[in-house]
Amino acid sequence: MVDQSIAGPVKAMSVSEGDRSGRARIVIVLLCLGLAAAVFLSLTSGASDASAVNVIRDWLSGAVPFDAALSARDSLIVYDIRLPRIILGILVGAALAVSGAVMQGLFRNPLADPGLIGVSAGSSLGAVAIIVLGATILAPVTALFGTLALPMAAFFGGLATTLVLYQVATRRGQTSVATMLLAGIALAALAMALTGILIFMADDRQLRDLTFWSLGSLGGATWAKIASVGPIIILALAAMPFLARGLNALALGEATAGHLGIPVQRLKYTAIIGVSAAVGASVAVSGGIGFVGIVVPHLLRLLIGPDNRYLLPASALLGASLLLLADAVARTIVAPAELPIGIVTAVAGAPFFLWILLRKRGVVDL
């Protein structure tokens, strides 16, 4: 039987959140429509005249294969360039946004970000190592995996950081969130220092590659990359909604969540592994894309409340939509060149992040 002192806050929270459940469902429906519009925009934006209308007409014509009615040029642009880029943008945007929402729920802080646990820095270290040392020390790895060497190195760099972090933060079967946060900052600083050493060793060509990769881009999207990281991201995203009930209870404190029957330790472990897999795989194929994990969950929390049953799927939809829109801007604003997508998200996200900080301190009240 649950203690009344515990049941009271839980009941109050459920009633207040129940008032927002109808709005949350409406917002999720609107976000689905918004994602469809973002996909349409991404499919039609660019130098080619291969529009979405022509593609849909080709699909409805019953031609087999689907691209038979398209010209060879339009077929290449739509199916081998734009479509992989759209799918990768949806996966990466959803992964970063949902990971941010989970981290904010785990740390009980709306300013938490997937980068706090050092996954992004570890992934960057792995990628930079391949770029700089791929022709020398790591030549066997490059020869073995070819074009997949970079994303695989980034993923395993993030995974290694996560394993070290978990070992440091866990004592006697219990994981301290505070220790995890501090250890994540330390590991990120160490990874960035090692990355700096590798950058110092790089030549001019490698420096250009490093700069473009570190700012983030979906320009290298291919079906092979989607096949390599897609299953990892999809599995991580599929597991996240099962954490919603535990994250809701965790908002009342770890002790209270434990009294409510939530396996707190398993919740922490699952959340960290899921976030690490999603973020590591995303950084591996897109580079460093910031602020999506902070801005999206916090904005939705203002609209639909903190109930993770609605917040997590809504974050996936909005994160995917925003990243597709940012990619469309990055491809068109300086056409025919391409602006790194990390610059677009930073320009939009940094002022919003500053507003969050000022709002929490009571400097502004909007």
Q: Is the pLDDT of residue 6 over 80?
A: no
User: Which range (40-44, 113-117, 151-155, 347-351) has the least confidence?
Assistant: 113-117
Q: Specify the pLDDT at position 43.
A: 80
Phi, psi angles (nearest 5°) of residue 174? -120, 135
pTM: 0.83
Please count the other Cβ atoms lying within 10 Å of the Cβ belonging to residue 189: 12
What CA–CA distances, in Å, run from 21 to 199, 304, 305, 311, 314? 49, 7, 9, 11, 12
Instruction: Give the tens place of pLDDT for each residue, 38-53.
Output: 998 888 776 565 655 6
Q: Specify the pLDDT at position 320.
A: 96
Please count the other Cβ atoms lying within 10 Å of the Cβ belonging to residue 193: 11
Instruction: Give the tens place of pLDDT for each residue, 185-235.
Output: 899 899 989 999 998 988 888 888 787 778 888 888 888 889 888 998 999
Token pair 């996240």: residue: 240
Q: Is the pLDDT of residue 339 over 80?
A: yes
Q: Is 78 helix (H, G, I), strand (E, B) or coil?
A: helix
| Greatest pairwise CA separation for the chain in angstroms | 69
- Per 3-state DSSP, what percentage of the chain is helix, strand, and coil (rounded to 5)? 80, 0, 20
Q: Is the pLDDT of residue 266 over 80?
A: yes
- What is the percentage of the chain residues whose pLDDT exceeds 70? 85
Q: Specify the pLDDT at position 366.
A: 47
Q: Specify the pLDDT at position 19.
A: 61
Q: Specify the pLDDT at position 2.
A: 45
Q: Specify the pLDDT at position 361.
A: 62
Q: Per-residue DSSP letters for 30-56?
A: HHHHHHHHHHHHHHH-SSS---HHHHH
Domains along the sequence of the chain with CATH: 23-349 (1.10.3470.10)
